[in-house]
Amino acid sequence: MILPPDVARQKTLKTAIHCRGIGLHSGARINMKLHPAKADSGIVFRRTDKGNIEIPAQWRNVVDSTLCTMIGNGDGITIGTIEHLMAAFAGLEIDNALVEIDGPEVPVMDGSAAPFVFLIECAGIAELSAPRRAIQVLKPVSVGEKGNSAALVPADGFRLSFAIDFASGAINRQELTYTLDTDDFKRDISRARTFGFLHEVDQMRANGLARGGSLDNAVVISGDRVLNKDGLRYRDEFVRHKVLDALGDLYLVGAPILGHFHGVRSGHAMNRKLIEALFADRSNWTLTTFPATGWEETPQRVRA
């Protein structure tokens, strides 16, 4: 297919690549292999330990949003903690890939998206002869409860604004506005790690969560202190990671978004509710061709 020069092409990997790691919540040792995929196939997960059951990475397949995003096939086969890998796909503009995995969740690696960025770039990125599509937001859509909210409003490009507020002096209030750009994503967002509070660890593990968590794959906070020996990667790493999570969750719409996301203390569950609200009314959005020349908006860089 010959595409006009102003239309972006879909992308996939040039070759397959493998990694191995620990599941953040299960504690299981997991092998994962990323494969190239044909145009219009999207991101698909395959459980090789469960009869090669395939689950498309789509918002309709989300079955749980408790401290991570989990997709399932409706018959009890699930894959959890997909948000960091999905953020890497979104940040590097990968539209199509097959993810083979032999356990219940994507390995956490160092708690950020940076190891997945490294894997994708090692595999190489290939353009396909099919136009890239985008979900364009036509009307403001919002959801919220108990001081937490998430919204999408029309915009020429894709921007994310996030605000968090924690009682811990290690975090306090942090705000960030970020315009999606591949180079900026790698430098400013992808390295931000997941975080948690030491006093919550016992309760999470009693509930079957965080069994693989450690100072090697998460920022751990005790009171007003960060316990990690090397400290933070960014002075506002916490809000940057929330942006990373939102980017991964929103990529479950199956395409890049043309709109401005606003999150206030939003988590995976709120992000999922926002997607549901967006698609609840067909007049909220339209499918359009993704531009090859970038956004009309000037990217707003963030500082480390």
Residues tagged active-site: 268
Report whether 80 contacts 9 (CB < 8 A). Answer: no
| Gyration radius of the chain over CA positions | 18
Contact partners, residue 16, CB within 8 Å, separation at least 6? 33, 34, 35, 36, 123
How remote is the C-alpha of 177 from its chain's centroid? 16
